Amino acid sequence: MSEVAITLVILAGALLLFVTELVPLGITPLIVLSSLAVSGVLPVKDVLTGFSNDTTIMVLFMFPVGEALFQTGVCDFIGRKVIKMAGKSEVRLVGLIMLAAAALSAFTSNTGITIVMAPLVVSVAREAGVSAGALLLPLAFGASFGGMLTLVGTPPNAIVQGALRQATGQSFGFFDFGKVSLPFVALAVLYMMFIGRKQVPQRLPAEAPSAEKHEFRSNKMGVSLLVLALVVVGMLFESRLSSFGLSLPIVAMIGAVLTVITGCITMPEFTGSIEWSAVLLMGGMQPLGLAMQKTGAADMLAGFLTRVIDSPTPYLMTGIVVLSAGLLGQFMSHTAATSVLAPVCIAIARQLGVSPAPLLMGLCQATSIAVATPIGTPPNVIVYHRGGYKFTDFVKTGLPLFILGALMLSALIPRMFPY
Domain residue ranges in the chain: 3-416
pLDDT value for 207: 41
Q: How far apart (Å, rounded) are the C-alpha atoms in residues 121 and 58?
A: 31
CA-based angle 137:141:146, to the nearest 5?
150
pLDDT value for 209: 44
pLDDT value for 389: 84
Of 105, 29, 25, 102, nearest to 62 (Cα)? 105
φ, ψ for residue 270, nearest 5 deg: -60, -55
pLDDT value for 247: 83
pLDDT value for 203: 58
pLDDT value for 112: 65
- The rounded mean pLDDT for the chain is 85
Q: Pick out the chain residues at pLDDT < 50.
A: 205-211
Of 243, 239, 342, 250, nearest to 288 (Cα)? 342
Q: Is the pTM of this model over 0.95?
A: no
